[in-house]
Amino acid sequence: MGKAMVKIVVGLAVAAGLWFGSMAMGFPPVFQGMFVGFAAVGTLMFLLLDAPRTSGPSGWPAAMSVAAFYLILCLGYGAAASLWPQFDPEDEREKIAKLLDGKENPLDPWNTADVTKRIQELDEKAKMLAERIQALGGDQAPVVAQKTVASTATPVGTSVNSDDAMKMGEEQWQLQECYNCHKLRGEGGKKRGPELDNIGSYLTVEEIKQKILDPKSFMAEGFEKEWEKGRMPDKFKDVMSDGEVTALAAWLSTFKNTSVATPKPIKMK
């Protein structure tokens, strides 16, 4: 009995050390709990060492049951990991390939001048496109398929292809994973966020840009709680270039499908 007491006391001391140590190192509470859990399991193991022998199998049968135990564990973990819905390696591979795909814009990722030039080019393209869309009537433009907007928006004689900018906008939608929270064309939006198919009827390119750069600037009607909690990430201003934001906003502004109940954005700032 005394021996067990000593083990429990040591276990408690280790658990306390892990709890406060990990807290001091800035681990999130869930990790602190996990570490304490490990200490508890460890203590239990040491206590079990003192337990009286059971009359279980010995020799080969014992070895076989240990092997079977591990086999079942491996199968269980393997199956759970491959059925896990959040992570599809093929999906990720496609995205990475897209990021690395040099076919369209062959550039050396280590050559900063090259990259800067390309970013400037795209920036310019996106700006021109935004102006053109504005010239077309921006948010008052009639309901037209996005493809049509893009192609009629290309004035004769310019070398810039606005289809390119549209493609870039759509690519940003994928790369920034806006689809995680927003349904568009009937796809995505597993986490709750408004469906955006009619956003072009409410917001101009500039206003959509503002919403992406500062999610608190507009609030979707009926999403007060989500807006309050800041569900839409406030990180895009840090991870996207101005050109990328413009292209994404311009692309989204072509969505004017009035049969979808996109909530009305309310200006907050």
The string over 129-139, giving b where at least 16 C-beta atoms fall within 10 Å of a residue's C-beta and e elsewhere, is bbebbbeeebb
Query: How far from 202 is each of 170, 180, 196, 205, 215, CA to CA, in Å?
Result: 19, 22, 10, 10, 16
CA angle 65, 71, 75 (to 5 degrees): 145
Q: Is 205 in the site for ligand HEC (CB under 6 A)?
A: no
Q: Which is nearer to ligand HEC, 108 or 177 (CB)?
A: 177
Residue 263 binding ligand HEC, by CB under 6 A: yes
Q: Please report whether residue 35 would count as binding ligand HEC according to CB under 6 A.
A: no
209 counts as binding ligand HEC under rule CB under 6 A: no
In this structure, the number of other CB atoms found within 10 A of the CB of residue 211 comes to 23
Cα-based torsion angle of the residue sequence 113, 116, 122, 124 in order, rounded to the nearest 10 degrees: -100
Examine residue 211 and tell whether it contacts ligand HEC (CB under 6 A). yes
Query: Site for ligand HEC (CB under 6 A): which residue of 133, 141, 150, 212?
Result: 212
Both structure tokens of 112: 């900063």
**Residues found in the chain:** 269
- Between residue 143 and residue 202, which ones bind ligand HEC under the rule CB under 6 A? 176-178, 180-182, 191, 193-194, 196, 199
CB 220 within 8 A of CB 98: no
Residue type for 36, please? V
Residue span binding ligand HEC (CB under 6 A) among the ranges 30-38, 49-57, 147-155, 214-222: 214-222
Q: Is residue 95 a contact residue for ligand HEC (CB under 6 A)? A: no
Neighbouring C-beta atoms of residue 140, cutoff 10 Å:
8
Q: Which of the stretches 53-61, 158-166, 227-235, 253-261 binds ligand HEC when contact is defined by CB under 6 A?
A: 227-235
Q: With CB under 6 A as the contact rule, which of the stretches 50-58, 147-155, 212-220, 253-261 interacts with ligand HEC?
A: 212-220
Cα(245)–Cα(208) distance, integer angstroms: 9
Cβ–Cβ < 8 Å for 267, 218: yes
Give CA–CA dist 35/14, Å, rounded: 10
Work out which of 11, 200, 215, 243 binds ligand HEC, going by CB under 6 A: 215
Contacting ligand HEC within 238-257 (CB under 6 A): 248, 252
| By the rule CB under 6 A, 231 interacts with ligand HEC | yes
Tell me: does residue 262 bind ligand HEC (CB under 6 A). yes
Residues binding ligand HEC (CB under 6 A): 176-178, 180-182, 191, 193-194, 196, 199, 208, 211-212, 215, 218-220, 223, 226-227, 231-233, 236, 248, 252, 262-263, 265
